[in-house]
Amino acid sequence: MIALVKRFLLLLDMMLYPTIVCDMTKSHRRSAYMSSRPTKSNLKSLGYEVVEAFTAHLEPRRMSALSARLQRRYAEKMRSSKECMLPSFNHTLPTGQERGTYLALDLGGSTLRIALIELDGRSKGRAGSRVLHMSVCQINNAIRRLPGSSFFDWMADKIVCMLEECPFYSDGGSNHPLSVGLSWSFPVEQISPKRGKVQGMGKGFCCSEQTIGRDLGGLIVSACLDRGVHLQIDALVNDSCATLLSRAYSDPCTSMSLILGTGTNMAIHLPVSSLGSSKLEGRQEKWLSEAEQVTVNTELSMFGKGILPETRWDDILNRNHTLPNFQPLEYMTTGRYLGEILRLIIVEAVEKAGLFDGRLPSCLQEAYSLDTTILATIEEDTFNTGKSAAYLEKTWNMDIAPSATEMVFLRLAASSISRRAAAYIATAIHALWVVERKASGATEASRTTIACNGSVIERYPGFRRMCQDYIADIIECDTDECLRNSEIVLQMAGDAAILGAAVAVAMAKDQS
Ligand code: BGC
């Protein structure tokens, strides 16, 4: 419903566009600049161009065809790839009866969370977990840029700090290392349930540059030892797998997860036989004989190149990125990039269409200086109440607030960017769901719950609904009747990654 209303408002904005643009001629305040800048028609036509470039192809049949192409790409990477479709060591999902109190770490793109978590088994009406103490540390650009071991030193300082202030923790002089579950929101090449090698990191993090291929747990443990704290990483999971584990702990019907925040990813529980043998090289006979299914970190963010249509602003973003082409889907859909896409559109509108009298607010000059929360604020002010204009004037330190016309332009751009993001995520989800159904030989209609976590899917106004609606639209185009009668439900799973890290340690303990 919300999505429908938004679609309607987007259309309304476009219809009102000429009127509002005409109103602008009544404004005296810009006359000096308007005489030299072709503001009216250029801003209007750029607005149409943006809407067209981002949304014209978002119709169900086209998206269904894009999904089919993604399905083929996923299947290829399931056969062989060192970068994506990475099997974990979890070959079962939690029983829901895992118990104990564990220290869990969750390194996300914008926060490091450190928590002491108690699991006491799910039962009717109870989640079965309790966060006894949690510390949340923000990660700014300076921290993202810390090289190699300096980043792990920063992490260790925060861990020591949290343990010092946690009323539930006392090492009691024990010589035993503290058992830890780690959720890592970056690719990692797992070599055992507890160990993995650092791989290239996106989201602006630099610490992998000098540590690629090194033992991730070892880097954290040794930085903590230097500070007198003895840890032992007993479970290492990607945040997508952690989210799947935590939701499956409280709801056994969950077999897929989605992260959509600073970055994006999905995890999925697949038959081992659907993966190429190179994917399982080096695994012990015991693991291979026991495992029928395995939780796979898809590294979904890396898909989409050459399949999902891109605009000229995506192209600029990609070319200026430190890792061009590394995570095409992420660059078009996540919290780290949505704001930057809008900033690039604004830069062009200022230069070529006289937006803001042809002057770019100085705080928008640097790449990544437009936060995605600003995009959300612009889009949320659907009735152009002036609230968002006043907000921008203050946030961007402007001499005068953007005019109504400018706000319409900004809102059209913001909603086109977020709409496309929702549609691409929906397409990627649909494609993975079809691959999973085929791999597991499903022949009946089903209802699949996807555990969702991350700031964009949780908090961007109307995003989850829009994504859910697009998924339903694509399913309607499926030629297979079984698929057409099936349903995918996006279910929020708050604090999922950190809870999942605790569930992963509990599972590791039960299995050892
Ligand atoms: C990383 C994934 C992670 C995802 C969500 C991506 O940038 O490559 O490993 O799961 O972000 O945090």
Does the beta carbon of 403 sit less than 6 angstroms from any atom of ligand 1? no
Q: Is 186 in the pocket of ligand 1 (CB under 6 A)?
A: yes
Determine the residue of 184, 185, 243 to mutate for testing ligand 1's pocket, defined as the one with the most ligand atoms within 8 A of the Cβ atom: 185
pLDDT score of 123: 84
- For residue 7, what pLDDT is reported? 54
**What is the per-residue pLDDT for 171?**
66
- In 10 A of CB 273, how many CB atoms? 9
Helices (H), 108-238: 141-144, 148-165, 216-225
The finding on whether 259 has its CB within 6 A of some atom of ligand 1 is yes
> Is the distance from CB of 320 to CB of 341 less than 8 angstroms?
no
CA of 263 to the centre of ligand 1 (A): 5
- Mutation test residue for ligand 1: of 301, 323, 425, the one with most atoms within 8 Å of CB: 301
Q: What was the pLDDT predicted at 384?
A: 74
Residue in 238, 235, 256 with CA at minimum distance from that of residue 428: 256
Cα 462 vs. chain centroid, distance in angstroms?
16
- Cα(323) to ligand 1 centroid in Å equals 14
**CA-nearest residue, atom 2 of ligand 1:** 186
Instruction: For residue 243, report the phi and psi dihedrals to the nearest 5 degrees.
Output: -65, -40
Question: Residue of the nearest CA to atom 6 in ligand 1?
Answer: 263
Residue 391: the pLDDT is 96
Cα dist from 370 to 199, 316, 319, 360, whole Å: 28, 16, 18, 12
pLDDT for 29 equals 31
pTM value?
0.91
**What pLDDT sits at residue 11?**
56
Query: Is the CB of 87 inside a 6 Å radius of any atom of ligand 1?
Result: no
**pLDDT tens by residue, 249-291:** 988 888 899 999 999 999 999 999 999 999 999 899 999 999 9
Query: Ligand 1, atom 9: nearest CA belongs to which residue?
Result: 186
Q: Is 330 in the pocket of ligand 1 (CB under 6 A)?
A: yes
Kindly give the parts of the chain with pLDDT less than 70. 1-40, 171-175
Residue nearest to atom 8 of ligand 1 (CA): 186
Ligand 1 atom having least distance to the Cα of 302: 8
Atom of ligand 1 nearest to the CA of 259: 5
Quick check: CB of 203 below 6 Å from ligand 1? Answer: yes
Measured in Å, residue 274 CA sits from the centre of ligand 1 at 23
Instruction: Find the 200 Cα to ligand 1 centroid distance in Å.
Output: 11
